[in-house]
A and B are shown apart, each in its own frame.
Chain A
């Protein structure tokens, strides 16, 4: 019963990112390198934020304090990743066998965002997963047994958000479009702030708005990447002649 919980929660949290990784990243070594580099970047941000948390000992027990610095550090590292990728883009293209890489400028943003997200998701969920193996489940001191599935759903949301935040953030930087960057940082604070409500077991209140933010973020990222809804609809109805021209 509980081993099923472990595997199904893992599937929920990491299945979609894995599918994305397998279809878009796994076939290109350069993308894999970038993804790993981004994951490392997230770890650096985590190390820095924990150092701050540790240094400011009187505020250690306040979750919100650590959270604020964790977000600031993550966004700083996202900016660092942006600078790094923009500096190394040409070189990466050189060593890549696939010269089609970077045909879309935001491809790297997507790859690094996924790396960022997967690492943050791994850290968020690994402890929870470790305890989901059983034989017990949450409930003795309050809480419901849906804790594990909500944790996994929230983790999935964060992974996807991080992916698309990177796309928006990189695009915002490229085009000096600061409202987009404000959206990234603002929604990051908002979603993380919502997760503080988990303490009060208001899962619906956390998850529903988070997924609404995710949908909005996906739409913005789609636009940033140059996606057009017309093109999307056309892709369903068949390939128009226009493109073949």
Chain B
């Protein structure tokens, strides 16, 4: 139907909308508004003392569109604009230069629409603070905030931790059409900057109203229902599940047979300012994939049945929620300190001999994309003259014999300035064992000073920025992966590729760990497969509908494959188990666990206390019973489980996430008011004229209507008689 459906078209439209809805009749509303789909909104999180993130008013913020193409546009917007408030439409390339300006003077700004443009990719982009998790870092291990200290995330703007006075929406590359829609409208109405007042102007409305406010203390109180008042939930604590798996089953260990463990950890989660976007490629995925592949490799080198031959064990742990003041590692350290982790056969902190964390590893992959070598750094929180340092050097020495075979260099860094990692949690909560050096700690990262990853915990921390290209090699029905050497020999992969480097790191680490627990150098031929790395990176970076995750899914889950997009790695709220931890856990189980024969009921009926059993789909999708020591433990901050905890004390992570109802954005033209003024004037005149004429004619009816046709007189007379 045409633009101006009027009278009869409106009649018909009305009729359709209220009754049948048979054909699609374009409502006037659709002529006025065009919704911006696929935008991700910045939302509100709260900690014990502050609120962070964005919220709009209940009905959304409305502002005049202003495309910000350079810094002077932003300056004009803040200082000289007249028809405010404005919505600044900013590309990610310009974000760093203008965001402070737009935040400093929020009076004239109604919100920001940030869009990613494929042709102008920024060189850095991070909403994380310069010193991530600075308030939950161990003060003795962190010099980031001190003057002269190394600022880890140099280009971080810290928006993730700041209270932003207006909504911010993010449009990914794939939604660039929406940006050109806004730009068209802007070019038609808003170009004459000096005469914007009193003109129709292209405008944007962003709605992301958040229910929670002030801080976690207040919003938790408002969420709790009391005897007198029932209340709606306004915020939920952040949290999810940690994943752990031990090389040998630990459940049947007694005090006498207890084996000391080496703890190998990495993190699952990443974050971004925007809802539903947390790719975390360099921030977390590379470390996590290296971790899982190392675990898989070591399990091939040491069969679980040989557990009696070794007097040490390896405990692989994936932390969740690390982006928000180390939720996962704080909880595990806290549980270790009270003898409650793992839930079956708890460890005491003194049982842990060594803690190796695979930290942030992806950032330098693109820096060294033309070279086969990959320099890594092993941060250890000891002074180099300390006796503990020599133990670390011993470990690194063993490691270097394997790493040099794999084109990797690991340089030790003995320092009291440790990059953001779970080491900080262990230091703070298990001080007596970590300080004394009875629990050795090493952090493996790819940067010596500032992060090599310039997209730390942002929406652009994706596969492109680590230079990952998927090879799409099929997996055999037995789950055999092509070895790295074969792939290199037949030219499928090159030594410079991320997959090969990560596989080399996994090989190095697995061989080193073998030497640690066996006490002798590894002489076998088992190596990590770059093919496996390729597949696993694809699962976490490109599409969750991938071969590995399909095989690792529950056999009972519905057949429809998951969406073909990467999973956001944001930790989410504790009330919901989010998929990343489940996927990581299942992958560990599938790749390291025993594949038993039998059907589903056999699998369900098995009860060996040392293991748990999962009925997964398996490589040929016919179902397989997995015997594994993999398990999940809660990753909810101790702050929310200690009954008498003071949320303002800052001891543990207190992050909560606000509840919201609807997030939407739309573009439209705002009236200048000329139409309304015209209608008002015409309405007043017409009404007054009608009143005067009617009054006049009625008063003088006898005079004016002299030839009035007579009424049906006959009947009336008879009735009236």
Cβ contacts under 8 Å, B679 to chain A:
5, 8-9, 11-12, 148-149, 152
A54-B20, A139-B189, A228-B706 are known contacts. Are A145 and B671 too (CB-CB below 8 A)? yes
Say yes or no: B691 contacts A19, CB within 8 Å. Answer: yes
Query: How far is it, in angstroms, between the C-alpha of A113 and the C-alpha of B699 when the chains are bound?
Result: 21
- In the complex, chain B residues whose CB is within 8 Å of the CB of A12: 679-680, 682-683, 686
Nearest CB to that of B720 among chain A residues?
Answer: A99
Given contacts A5-B679, A137-B668, A140-B668, whether A198 and B6 have CB atoms under 8 Å apart is yes
Assembly CA distance A105 to B704 (angstroms): 15
Considering the chains assembled together, what is the distance between the CA atoms of A2 and B711 in angstroms? 49
Inter-subunit contact B686/A136 (CB<8 Å): no
Number of A positions contacting B (CB below 8 A)? 93
**Given A12-B679, A140-B33, A145-B669: A104 in contact with B705 (beta carbons within 8 A):** yes
Give the one of A70, A86, A240 with max B CB within 10 A.
A70
Report yes or no: A192 in contact with B8, Cβ–Cβ below 8 A.
yes
Chain A residues with CB under 8 Å of B671's CB are: 1-2, 5, 134, 137, 139, 145
**10 A-B pairs closest in CB distance:** A199-B2, A136-B668, A15-B687, A139-B669, A11-B683, A16-B690, A12-B683, A137-B671, A8-B680, A226-B707
Sample of 12 more A-B contacts, CB < 8 Å, known A66-B11, A145-B669, A151-B4? A4-B676, A5-B675, A18-B687, A54-B22, A123-B14, A138-B669, A140-B33, A147-B4, A148-B675, A226-B706, A227-B707, A228-B705
Q: Select from chain A the residue with minimum beta-carbon distance to B695.
A: A23
Minimum CB–CB distance for B35 against chain A, Å: 11
Say if the beta carbon of B226 comes within 8 Å of chain A.
no
Taking A8-B676, A137-B32, A192-B7 as contacts, is the C-beta distance between A225 and B705 under 8 angstroms?
yes
Cα–Cα distance between A149 and B3 once the two chains are bound (Å): 15
Contact with A along B669-694 (1 / 0, CB 8 A): 11111111111101110111111001
B1-60 with Cβ < 8 A to chain A = 1-15, 19-20, 22-23, 27-29, 31-34
With contact pairs A126-B14, A200-B2, A227-B704 given, residues A138 and B683 touching in the complex (Cβ less than 8 Å): no
Q: Which residues of chain B in 397-416 are interfacial with respect to chain A, using CB atoms and an 8 Å cutoff?
A: none
Interface residues of A in 13-71 (CB under 8 A from B): 13, 15-20, 22-24, 46, 50, 53-54, 57, 60-61, 63, 66-67, 70
Can you offer 23 A-B residue contacts whose CB atoms are under 8 A? A2-B676, A8-B680, A46-B11, A50-B11, A90-B719, A103-B711, A104-B701, A105-B710, A105-B712, A125-B10, A135-B670, A137-B675, A140-B669, A141-B34, A142-B3, A145-B675, A147-B675, A152-B683, A195-B7, A225-B705, A226-B708, A231-B703, A231-B705
| CB atoms of A124 and B710 under 8 A apart | no
Q: In the complex, which residues 84-137 of chain A have their Cβ closer than 8 Å to any Cβ of chain B? A: 86, 89-90, 93-94, 99, 102-106, 123-128, 131, 134-137
What is the CB-to-nearest-CB distance from A159 to chain B, in angstroms, rounded to a whole number?
A: 10
CB distance from A153 to the nearest CB of B (A): 7
| Chain A residues near B719 (CB-CB < 8 A) | 90, 93-94
Q: B31 contacts A141, CB within 8 Å?
A: yes
In the bound assembly, the distance between CA atoms of A227 and B705 in angstroms comes to: 4
Inter-chain CA distance A173–B673, complex, in Å, is: 46
In the complex where A156-B686, A235-B700 touch, is A124 in contact with B709 (Cβ < 8 A)? no
- Docked-complex contact B10 and A9, CB < 8 angstroms: no
Closest to B674 in A: A145
In the complex the two chains form, what is the Cα distance from A67 to B185 in whole Å? 34
Residue A184 is within 8 A (CB to CB) of chain B in the complex: no
Q: Are A24 and B698 in contact (CB under 8 A)?
A: yes
- Least CB distance from A207 to B in Å reads 11
From the candidates A140, A153, A195, name the one contacting B31 in the complex (CB within 8 A).
A140
Contact of A135 among B12, B203, B702 (CB under 8 A): B203
Contact between A106 and B10, CB atoms less than 8 A apart:
no
Taking a contact as CB atoms under 8 Å apart, the answer to whether A106 and B709 are in contact is yes
B290 sits at the interface (CB 8 A): no
User: A226 CA to B678 CA in the complex, in Å?
Assistant: 36
- Most interface-central of A17, A19, A136 (chain B CB within 10 A): A136
B4 touches A198 (CB 8 A): yes
A190 at the interface (CB under 8 A from B): no
Partner of B12, one of A5, A16, A50, A231: A50
Q: A138-B31, A231-B704 are in contact. Are A145 and B200 (CB under 8 A)?
A: yes
Does B696 touch A at the CB level, under 8 Å?
yes
Task: Output the least CB separation between A60 and chain B (Å).
Answer: 6
Tell me the smallest distance from the CB of A35 to a CB of chain B, in Å: 15
Indicate if B329 sits at the interface (CB-CB under 8 A).
no
Query: Are A198 and B13 neighbours in the complex by a CB distance under 8 Å?
Result: no
B607 interface residue, CB < 8 Å from A?
no
A212 at the interface (CB under 8 A from B): no
Inter-chain contacts of A17 with B (CB < 8 A): 690
- Kindly state whether residue B489 has any CB partner on chain A within 8 Å: no
Taking a contact as CB atoms under 8 Å apart, the answer to whether A201 and B3 are in contact is yes
Interface: B667 (CB within 8 A): yes
Query: When chains A and B are docked, how far (Å) is the Cα of A151 from the Cα of B15?
Result: 18
Q: How far is the CA of A46 from the CA of B185 in the complex (A)?
A: 38
